Amino acid sequence: MKSRGFEVRQLYLRPAAMTHAWAAGYPWEHVAGDYGMAEGNLAMLMMRTADNLRHAANLVDVFPDAAVTAREAIG
Question: What residue ranges do the domains of the chain occupy?
Answer: 13-74
pLDDT at site 38: 84
On the 0-12 / 13-18 / 19+ scale of CB atoms within 10 A, 55 is exposed
**What's the N-to-C CA distance of the chain in angstroms?**
34
Rounded distance, CA 63 to CA 75, Å? Answer: 19
Q: Pick the closest to residue 75 from 54, 58, 59, 61 (CA basis).
A: 54
| pTM of the predicted model as reported, rounded to 2 decimal places | 0.66
pLDDT tens, 20-53?
A: 898 899 998 888 888 888 888 888 988 998 999 9
CA distances to 27, 48, 62, 68, 69 from 45, in Å: 16, 5, 26, 22, 19
pLDDT at site 62: 95
